[in-house]
Structure 1
Amino acid sequence: MRIVTLNANGIRSAATKGVFDWLRTQQADVVCLQETKAQEDQLTDAMFRPDGHHCFYRDATCKKGYSGVAIYARREPDAVLTELGWEPFDCEGRYIEARFGNLSVVSLYVPSGSSGEERQQFKFKVMDFLTPIFDQWLNSGRDYVICGDWNIVHTRNDIKNWTSNQKNSGCLPAERAWLDLLFHTRGWVDSFRAIKPEAVEYTWWSNRGRARENNVGWRIDYQVCTPGLRERMRACSVYREQRFSDHAPYTVDYAD
């Protein structure tokens, strides 16, 4: 089973840069997208319904052309869920879940707090809101793969400039402590670190300067899994050869 996650930073923009041509070559079972930045009625072109895939979108309703998530699946899901029960979060189009038997694949877009203190406080509220939901998922008996842009680095190896970013959103001690709670206390598994414990690879680069060219990046895109999936992880990769977005696609292969 192959799962790909990508923050597209505008699905229509990513389409013009060849993302759908690339996806066709990947033979992914499930593709999770974040930051589609479109309403579904704007995606009538056939390219947004890739052949052989069942396609599901969750748009932002409180601010059109903002945020938004999607899932493409080769196999038709048993169910698709798009709300977690808190309107300020749900209306921004940040969650969609596809269920296949005992497996749930989630496309999740955690807010960024980089635009100012108000959004940073909203991000903290989202983290607090998600924690008991993650606990419920962990204790549900289901297998979960939570894909997406979490907008938080975890360790020194996940960011080029660790020291200078300690006061910046995405690298704040309180944000990283939340990932500590999820990974080390609760038992969620960061697939990248499970497969590549010491690797230094990034999934996002600022558009400023020559950050991507110089690999001054952050690893903020994850596939976070329930513990039972750890033994099924076979390989992972960050694809950098083409630039579809300011993020790079992150792929994980799991044994069936």
Structure 2
Amino acid sequence: MLDDLTPEPKPKPRHSGHRDRLRERAAKGGLGALPDYELLELLLFRSIPYKDVKPLAKDLLARFGGLEGIGAASHEAVEDQVARTLAYVPGKATRAVALDLQLIFDVTRRIAREPTAKRPVISSWTALLAYVRVALQHEPREQFRVLYLDKKNQLILDEVQNRGTVDHAPVYPREVVRRALELSASALILVHNHPSGDPTPSRADIEITKQVVQAGRALNVEVHDHLVVGRDGVASFKQLGLM
């Protein structure tokens, strides 16, 4: 008689077979063999256990232009896309998905920063370029950052000096150098992004760099370089002969 009271197991959702097959392919062929949308699906499986997440993965990639774009997007923008695709009412569930995605991408940024933080920045040029691209390549608004270095070119601090609009972030040379003195930094690298995608320095970029160099020279703080980050690459003032 007790057998009659045992609840029948719930049938698996139709997409569960797809999840199993995708996990098996990833285990056999490695994650590197998966296209971006399937890699994103695997991440979303953990946040959304009972829905087909392939449409969401594709919509997120399309809206933000790729995995790095998703990582750089605001929490609100990611949550909005989750709600739109899954027909959810924005709230606890959509916030949880957006937070899970941003957590993963922030861990990626920190991993990219570690080689730069552990070795002299100038002798780790490849690591430095990888770090600034991950940090700024898909930022929707212009952001001006300064990497403060000690006498051995070890990174003391990566600090956001200012956030601006889609094409301008105000910079104050005296504040940049004053902060260097507070941190006992011997040198610095200026970094900012061009949300347009083109890393070519503007006249304003060149002028503000000259002002920072002059302010630093007066107080024995060297400006090693100014990097401009865009989706099309990274421009170095030093390599371009602009400083």
TM-score by length of 1: 0.28
Q: Which of the two has greater strand per residue?
A: 1
Bigger RCO of structures 1 and 2 (CA < 8 A, at least 6 apart):
1
Q: Which of the two has greater helix per residue?
A: 2
